[in-house]
Amino acid sequence: MRVKAATILLLMILSSTISTANPGGEGDAVRSRDCAGSCHASSSTNGVSSATLSIEFPDEIYAGLLMEIQTSVEGVDVSSNSMSGMAILINSDGAKDLPANDGWEVITDPNGGTNNYVEITDSFSSQNIVTRSWTLRAPPTPGMYDIFLAVQHGSPNGGVAMSGISNLTQVEVSAVPENLPQLAPDWTPTNTRNLGEVTTIKLETLNTDSATVELKIGAEISEIPVEDGEFIIPAAVNPGVVEWRVILTGEGPTQTSPWFRLTAQEPGWEIDETALYLQSIALLLLCAGLVILRRPSGGDYNKNYDNTNYISTESEVEAPQESTSPVGPPLPPEGLPIGWTMEQWQHYGQEHLNKLARGEI
């Protein structure tokens, strides 16, 4: 039995495989550069990504204004789930590397969130380039800033967590010219909406006389009228992304905003939490009650404090010991030999009779 159990256990251990840490991804988040958990394993499970990484910036970047950048991951094979994590960072040290540390703000990440780390599922391969757009708000102070693109992904055969980081890209953030038509510094676009919802977006602008909004669905670009600083994007029928941008005119040079992405998604999963909590309490009480109700039979109630069984068991154990004490052979008709005690007869009586029978006495 033990050998069988040990064999089964051994087979189970041998059948396990070493896999990359977090193969399902870690989820989009605001995150420093890390190893996706693989640093807890041996060094043989880590590797350097062969991807070519690049970031494209617009020609002019103004302090505190919105801008769009493109990040590209080129020439890399990833694991079978075709997923890669991408992160925008400000240094390659793995600490204090969040864009916010330099004053950058992620307004819209490629997945429609506001994170500096996103997980992208696409056709990554050694022949492909996967490009994604990010909308950022530039730091409020003009100057030169460093930006990096980092990636982490699995290997085609699994088992190795690959990570890589781009070369340093420096960008110049300029002071905002006077009278430049612009979106208000505290204005942020809407990133997501539910299917079937008409979306009204209110623009807040500075130094602007008029605004025109362009809506891009697929390759088609159409104009949307802006009334009292508001415009309406029609409801989406299917999950997907529409892009829009605004062209601002005023006394200063005309400005075109980056393309803002509006992601339509299925409504999130919802549940009546009150009913759920009540049901949980009900099940807790019911289960406890059902188990306790299965009470022991009457005689067993005080079993923990009842030593009767223990005592009777001991008595039963002792009794046979008394009965097995030597009683000796039957006494001869003439009684005990002279000088013997009954105790001696019990122990040595049989030996005495044997000697008598052999004529030795």
Partner 1 sequence: MISAGTLHVIATELTIGMFALSGVAFLLCLLKKGPISREAVAHWALLGGLLATPFAIFTGLNAAPGEGIESPLLANKLILSTVSTGLAIGILIRRKWGGDVDSRHASIGMITVALMLTTAGMGGEYSRNETLLYFVPKETVFLFPIWASILLIVLGIVMLGKSAVEHRR
Residues in contact with 206: Cβ distance below 8 Å, sequence separation at least 6, in sequence order: 181, 182, 183, 184
Number of DSSP helices (H) and strands (E) in the chain, helices first: 4, 20
**Residues forming the site for partner 1 (CB under 8 A):** 22-25, 27, 268-296, 300-305
C-beta of 262: minimal distance to partner 1 in Å? 21
Question: Which of residues 175 and 283 has its CB atom nearest to partner 1 in the complex?
Answer: 283
**Amino acid, single-letter form, for residue 29:** A
Listed in sequence order, the DSSP H helices in the chain are: 2-15, 273-293, 308-323, 342-358
Q: How far is the CB of 305 from partner 1 (least distance, A)?
A: 8
| Token pair recorded at residue 44 | 């043989």
Instruction: Provide the minimum distance between the beta carbon of 318 and partner 1 in the complex, in angstroms, as a whole number.
Output: 22
Q: How far apart are the first and last CA of the chain?
A: 60
Give the SS3 label for residue 60: coil
Tokens of 73: 């991951």
Which pair of structure tokens corresponds to residue 152? Answer: 């982490």
Q: By C-beta, is 2 or 358 nearer to partner 1?
A: 2
Task: Decide whether 31 or 352 has the Cβ nearer to partner 1.
Answer: 31
**Closest distance between partner 1 and the C-beta of residue 109, in Å?**
15
Q: How far is the CB of 122 from partner 1 (least distance, A)?
A: 18
3-state secondary structure of 23: coil
By beta-carbon proximity to partner 1, the closer residue of 271 and 338 is: 271
Which residue type sits at 349?
G
Find the shortest distance in angstroms from Cβ 186 to partner 1.
24
Cβ distance to partner 1 smaller for residue 38 or 255: 38
Check: CB of residue 203 under 8 Å from CB of residue 230.
yes
